[in-house]
Structure 1
Amino acid sequence: MDSGSAGLGMEDIPLSAQFWTLAVLLVCSGFFSMAETAMMASNRHRLRHLAREGNAGAALAVKLLGTTDKLLGVILLGNTLVNAVAAMVTGHIALTLFGEEKWALEAGAVFITFCLLIFSEITPKVIGATHPDWLTQRISFILAPMLRIAYPLIWTVNLLVTGLLKLLHLQPKPGHQELRLSTEELRILVLESVHGIPSQHRAILLNLFDLEDITVEDIMQPRGSVEAIDLQASLEDIRQQLATSYHTNLPVYDGDPGNVIGILHQRRLLSHVLGGEWNHDTLRQQLTDPYFIPAGTHIYSQLQFFQENRQRLGLVVDEYGEIQGLITLEDIIEEIIGKFTTGLPGVDNELRWQTDNTVLVEGGKPLRELNRSLGLDLPLEGPKTLNGLILEYFQDIPEAGISAKIGGVVMEVVQTQDKAVKIVRLSRPK
């Protein structure tokens, strides 16, 4: 028996069978290309969530992605072997069809390159990138046994690759596969999750990201708008103030508004007032020590301080110990979830543009609240209130009727009183 009859060569396989073999090889190559793209593009957070819920495919995918070097090794090994065999089969087909012509192999190379590009690269990778999570949960059941079968070869290849990376000083650092998202990256994820998270929940999450950047000075009630009791006032005036106040806790000062001596909880004084047996000394005895907060304290830290010290109200002081304003636990909560209370009962304090694209605003309104409620972009680096912004711009107390454009917003001073801008008309930017 001669050597030609010892085995079956490619030339002995029917041409139709060679074409079918090439088609199967192209499909296999496309599978590996799609698997590589889908596995790398899959959402690992979503896969971990599905794995915790008992999804076997997701759990297997998470395990495979935990050893990315071995996963890529088996995918690329399979893809390389399939493409090499496909090129070989194409060469035999070209020789069978065109004989020993010089251009036969060149034509075969062009043909297989075109087929690999269309059917085994671009199309499957687009599919893998479009449906990564769905595909990953199913592809993992095929890749896992392939990895176990080819593990010795993959281990050898990875050993050589690791040595080459060390030689080039490009070896990956420990923990490089862990997904670590910064605050800004998390913010972008929340912003882009339009269909996954309700708008109100998304707004709360975005506000939480800002807690580390906002200080108590940004959201406090300015000193000029804080309601307080003067111990030197008459009992009748104090009684009238208590009767009309809608606050539960009121700062109490002695003559000078900057000399706060305590905080009055109205319920403690209620029995004395109703019984008619009370005076300034009785009021003083009901005071609790004031709680002072540095102006630069971040509200996230202050929220923790309120919780640890069981406080609900604090006086904000600057570096010189001068009182700048007042902040409550409710102010911080509203900064997170939005406004849920009003000022004076029966008064609509909601900020919104009128039909003529203008709105009347109190000068003591915080700039952050104006930006959030009216969709403006007023600067927040300097003054914290609209009054402070206008006074800084003019370097003086403007008269009523004067207008200016600040932060892209036309502002008309409507009323000034007690060395401050009381009412301002804002025009909506185009």
Structure 2
Amino acid sequence: MSDLTLTLQVAALVVLLVLSGGFSMSETVMMASNRYRLRSLASQGHKGATLALDLLARTDRLLGVILLFNNLVNTAAATLVSVITMELFGDERWALGVATLLVTFAILVFSEITPKVIGAAHADRLAPILAYPLAGLLRVFYFAVWFVNLFSRGLLWLMRLQPKADDNGALSVEELRAMVIDSGQYIPHKHRSILVNLFDLENITVEDVMTPRGAIEAIDLSDPEHEIRRQIATSFHTRLAVYDGDSEHVIGVLHQRRLLGDTLDEPFAAERIRDLLMRPYFVPADTPLYSQIQFFQENQQRLAFVVDEYGEILGLITLEDIIEELIGKFTTSIPDAGDRMHWSEEGSALVDGSANLRELNRRLDLSLPTDGPKTLNGLILEYLQDIPETGVSMKIADTPIEVVQTQDRMVRTARLFRPLARSAGQ
């Protein structure tokens, strides 16, 4: 065999290996590409992304054209190696065996593994580019691909493995949540946090974020007028619950703006408050926050009283409470017990017994259970099954807790200590 012929055959073998690598890369690129990113590019008029989406819409045709040519190229490469070996060494079996091993190694390294690793690493960037040659090959050799797929579909039918209709890659809520969490540099941390909180609204009820009944600021019309005047003048809230002697029976909600307009016309009088009250709005304790937003919108309300199955008031929920659950606490002049929710240098935190467990978990990075009581006081009472005395300590969910102050059959103040495992990690 002349040197020229051998050179041409080796060059042809290299070309076949390169083509095989190209088809292997194309398979990985198309399958690993982000369809949502392609759709975004296609909506901006990117022709390559549109072609890629068209190919991915019929996976059988896409894989058919790739694997058809990939196998043809690999077979041609193996045949060419056999021809070269026989012309160099004759019919020596050891030579054919060695040649088979060498071509298998070359195909694995240069035409399979390396191209596929590159394709997987740059799938989104290469998919719109490779879509052009793949679409052209499919258009030219459509009949051959259809003929091969005909047998493939027949075999699937015999095996009762018919492919199901494509759902266009619809994602579940948990999958969307995972995508947002893993979005990294593409979405700012604050925005990512808001989106994750939004997914949780269906699993969080108004009872989880409400202001407990004991912490509700309310006006008692049976109090002396000077006491009512002082309470209104020092209140940080624009809307106040109003009752008359019986705190279990709220008779309305006072909007201080309406009261201000009334006092500009006539002197202040406690009895006139009754005429300014808005009807109270009640919601069940197990109402999801997402549904409550809709209810507030439909009823044109911003405040609701949370009631249990017996109709007794458990607490109060406002539109601001739900918004804060999404984006975090607002910067206001209202004193907030949550401002003390941070670890000291000694690894402890002094918090109110009325502190919400979800807020504690968020601010202190704890794992206190939230499927039962909603406040720290309720959690301690449930755990101990008794009213604790000052100085009693316990450990709940790996968090050491010490009761600092009790009053009126409830824990007023408690000291939390950073979990030992977390302290050691830091």
Q: Which band: TM-score by shorter chain?
A: over 0.9
**3-state SS in 2 of match to 1:421:** strand
- Partner of 1:71 in structure 2? 62
1:159 aligns with 2:159: no
1:373 aligns with 2:390: no
Question: After the TM superposition, which of the residue ranges 352-361 and 220-229 deviates more from structure 2?
Answer: 352-361
Question: After the TM superposition, which of the residue ranges 186-195 and 10-19 deviates more from structure 2?
Answer: 10-19
Looking at structure 1, the residues matched to 311 and 413 of structure 2 have their Cα atoms a distance apart, in angstroms, of: 30
Give 1:53-202 correspondences, 5 Å limit: 53-176=44-167, 178-202=168-192
Looking at structure 2, the residues matched to 58 and 261 of structure 1 have their Cα atoms a distance apart, in angstroms, of: 62
Give 1:2-401 correspondences, 5 Å limit: 14-176=5-167, 178-273=168-263, 277-342=267-332, 344=334, 349=339, 351-401=341-391
Q: Is the Cα contact below 8 Å between 1:342 and 1:348 reproduced in 2?
A: no
Looking at structure 2, the residues matched to 175 and 368 of structure 1 have their Cα atoms a distance apart, in angstroms, of: 40
Per-residue deviation, 1:273: 4.2
Q: Output the amino acid matched with 1:180.
A: A
Count the aligned residue pairs.
420
Deviations 1:254-306 (A, max 9, x none): 21211001111112122444666343431111111100000000000000110
Q: Output the amino acid matched with 1:115.
A: A
Deviations 1:200-227 (A, max 9, x none): 0111011011001000000000001011
Q: Output the amino acid matched with 1:44.
A: R
Per-residue deviation, 1:243: 0.6
Looking at structure 1, the residues matched to 145 and 3 of structure 2 have their Cα atoms a distance apart, in angstroms, of: 34
Q: TM-score, normalised by structure 1?
A: 0.94
Looking at structure 2, the residues matched to 404 and 276 of structure 1 have their Cα atoms a distance apart, in angstroms, of: 57
Q: Is the Cα contact below 8 Å between 1:228 and 1:252 reproduced in 2?
A: yes
Q: Is the Cα contact below 8 Å between 1:11 and 1:96 reproduced in 2?
A: no
Deviations 1:26-59 (A, max 9, x none): 1100000000001100111111111111222112
Q: Is the Cα contact below 8 Å between 2:340 and 2:351 reproduced in 1?
A: no
**3-state SS in 2 of match to 1:401:** coil
**3-state SS in 1 of match to 2:329:** coil
Q: Is the Cα contact below 8 Å between 2:337 and 2:352 reproduced in 1?
A: no
Question: After the TM superposition, which of the residue ranges 377-386 and 162-171 deviates more from structure 2?
Answer: 162-171
Deviations 1:380-426 (A, max 9, x none): 11100011011111212212222211121111111111221111111
Q: TM-score, normalised by structure 2?
A: 0.95
Looking at structure 1, the residues matched to 282 and 261 of structure 2 have their Cα atoms a distance apart, in angstroms, of: 28
Looking at structure 1, the residues matched to 154 and 281 of structure 2 have their Cα atoms a distance apart, in angstroms, of: 63
Cα gap change, 1:253/1:289 in structure 2, threshold over 3 Å: closer, same or farther? same
Instruction: Give the unaligned 5+ runs of structure 1.
Output: 1-9
Per-residue deviation, 1:11: 9.6
Q: Is the Cα contact below 8 Å between 1:342 and 1:349 reproduced in 2?
A: no
Q: Output the amino acid matched with 1:242.
A: I
Deviations 1:236-264 (A, max 9, x none): 11101001101000111121211001111
Looking at structure 1, the residues matched to 236 and 90 of structure 2 have their Cα atoms a distance apart, in angstroms, of: 100
